[in-house]
Chain A
Amino acid sequence: MLILGIETSCDETGLALYDSEQGLLAHCLHSQIDLHQEHGGVVPELASRDHVRRITPLFNEVLSAANRQRADISAIAYTAGPGLIGALLVGASFARSLAFALDIPALPIHHMEAHLLAPMLEEQAPTFPFVALLVSGGHTQLVRVDGIGEYELMGESVDDAAGEAFDKTAKMLGLDYPGGPALAKLAVDGNPDRFRFPRPMTNRPGCDFSFSGLKTHSLTTFRKTDGNDQDKRDVARAFEDAVVDTLLIKCRRALDATQLKQLVIAGGVSANHSLRQRFADYSQQSSVEVYFPRNEFCTDNGAMIAYAGFRRFELNPNASNGTDVRPRWPLSELSVA
């Protein structure tokens, strides 16, 4: 069985081919970072315009990279939400009409489900049940995962998502969009002992997060400095340490509460080097195994959509019936079949 995955929910056009026997065969990605950089964030209309230009060339590219024909494809998985409506509609229209032309099913996929399954593309893959920390530009969630479609939300951000906080803090430090990776780069040479930022909501029970206060704290701290390059590095470091620490504290809480021994971390922020290091250290010192997607599959990509499509198709080959795209779509609304 060969599954084509199509991702167009935000600012990346990603296509991939996943084979049920051989695993991931090929994936191709076009990132729109350059397009949005001068605007300091994703401009939805520009994103949609770019997806519709890229999608067919990427389809041709992924087929030839996998050395397959279009007639080999058995089903098409596409991101149906959450995301930007205009962007989602490009992928959905293309996917559904291609499936129609090829007489094969089209499977609408939940973008965050795909993120949380992404570590299963790796050789060192988690097995159900596990706790998942989803940290992206739009989401910060702790989820208990008992199987495909069996998701229990344990906690989430009450304000900014972690990635959003990275991006906003970076912008405030004068860094280019997307600020997350740029801020992380600065933080490498920051002094970890100069500032200590609060770990929001860690002294309260539960697994919810709040990151907007940290952004404000970074700003007030930065304003009290000379604003030179080292000041930026030090603020970046204090901010990153606080975010990573907070995430770790809440993950431990979720693991304690569930008594589970596997933790999956996925979404754009899981590419963060310092976060990966901290959680790897924690894994070493505890009986908990921590799983990440490979770096390039932390952010949006077609491979995770193809894989989620494969898992969904296995469960229910008829799940293709016409659904609209859903710009807002809580993960907890998903079910097994």
Chain B
Amino acid sequence: MSRILAINSASDFCSVTISDTDTVTTTTRSAPTERGHGDAVLAMIDQILQETNYAKTSIDALAFACGPGAFTSLRIGAGITQGLAVGIDRPVVPISSLAMLAHGVYRQHQRQRTLVAIDARMGQVYFAAYETAVIGDSQLVSEVRVCDPVELTWSKGAWTTVGNGWQVYADEIPPDSALKYIGGGAEDSAIDVACLAEKIVKEGKALPAEFALPVYVRDRVVHQAC
């Protein structure tokens, strides 16, 4: 039985969810991501705590979308998660932003096989394939890559695609008429972060606060000193 506070700060919309496995309820807030949205995330957390009447210390674990995504936004999410986690002395669960999207497709459209591609800027995409057969468990069935859209490959079959990469690079991604496209990123939600975190918390695999770290995938950064 657990109560999880989940944060997604790394997409066009940031959102916050509290899920309670006892009462099987979730409460969510979301807002367009703006510059310096850290305070907006904290304000949303404050709102849903008041709405649900939960004390901060009644939260059992903190989950967050750890990337890939915009570096600074990821670090805002990681920083907030670490601060909360040390403040209430609870463990953390980093959840892949790509898995979050795949899970959202299953939760809302019941499609199991998902190809996720999000814009990685510099003409590239972050990409991964997932299979989701039950709520709360999206299995990675490919590598997680950052690559040029033309290099994307996947096994033939009935895949549903999700993520803004498919739109942004529609002209470059190799065509496949079997693909079904869903939304451009509207599925982004902390609800899915919470769902995916539940299993990990139940298995006792939540981590100490300092492990709330971004997963950048793109490790080659512009090494320009200032």
Contact = CB atoms under 8 A, between A and B. Distances in A.
17 contacts: A36-B225, A45-B221, A56-B82, A56-B210, A89-B36, A89-B38, A93-B80, A94-B80, A96-B80, A97-B42, A98-B83, A100-B46, A101-B56, A324-B35, A324-B36, A324-B39, A325-B36
B191 interface: no
B214 interface: yes
Given A84-B226, A91-B79, A93-B76, 18 more contacts: A36-B225, A39-B223, A40-B225, A42-B225, A43-B221, A49-B75, A49-B216, A52-B78, A53-B213, A56-B86, A56-B209, A85-B72, A92-B38, A96-B38, A98-B87, A101-B88, A102-B87, A325-B36
Interface of A: 36, 39-46, 48-49, 52-53, 55-57, 59-60, 70, 84-86, 89-102, 177, 322, 324-325
Best-surrounded residue of A91, A94, A95, A96 (most CB of chain B within 10 A): A94
| Size category of the binding interface on chain B | 35 or more
Interface in B187-224: 209-210, 212-214, 216, 221-224
Given A39-B223, A325-B36, A96 B42 contact: yes
Contacts of A86: 71-72, 75
A100 B84 contact: yes
B115 interface: no
Interface string B6-50: 000000000000000000000000000001101100100110000
A101 B225 contact: no
A43 B39 CA distance: 26
A69 to B, nearest CB: 10
Given A42-B226, A43-B221, A48-B71, A70 B87 contact: yes
Contacts of A101: 56, 83-84, 86-88
A57 B86 CA distance: 10
B213 A52 contact: yes
Contact of B226 (A44, A56, A59, A325): A44
A34 to B, nearest CB: 14
Contacts of A56: 82, 85-86, 209-210, 212
B62 to A, nearest CB: 10
Nearest to B46: A100
A89 B70 CA distance: 14
A315 B88 CA distance: 29
A94 B82 contact: yes
Given A84-B226, A86-B72, A100 B87 contact: yes
Interface in B149-181: none
Interface in B64-107: 71-72, 75-76, 78-89
B79 A97 contact: yes
10 shortest interchain CB distances as A-B pairs: A101-B87, A41-B225, A93-B79, A97-B83, A98-B83, A56-B210, A97-B80, A94-B83, A45-B221, A94-B79
A55 B38 contact: no
A95 B38 CA distance: 11
A95 B83 CA distance: 7
B24 to A, nearest CB: 26
A52 B213 CA distance: 7
A52 B79 contact: yes
Nearest to A138: B226
Nearest to A98: B83
Nearest to B74: A52
A53 B38 CA distance: 18
Contacts of B80: 93-94, 96-97
Contact of B71 (A41, A45, A95): A45
Contacts of B221: 43, 45-46, 49
Given A43-B221, A45-B222, A89-B79, A97 B87 contact: yes
A98 B42 contact: no
A39 B56 CA distance: 43
A85 B70 CA distance: 14
A38 to B, nearest CB: 9
Contacts of B223: 39, 43, 46
A307 B98 CA distance: 43
Nearest to A48: B75
Nearest to A58: B210
Given A39-B223, A45-B222, A52-B213, A98 B71 contact: no
A96 B39 contact: yes
Nearest to A45: B221
Contacts of B71: 45, 48-49, 86
Contacts of B84: 97-98, 100-101
Interface in B93-127: none
B42 A39 contact: no
Contacts of B76: 89, 93
Nearest to B45: A100
A85 B75 CA distance: 12
A323 B159 CA distance: 45
A322 B36 CA distance: 10
Contacts of B78: 52, 93
A333 B225 CA distance: 29
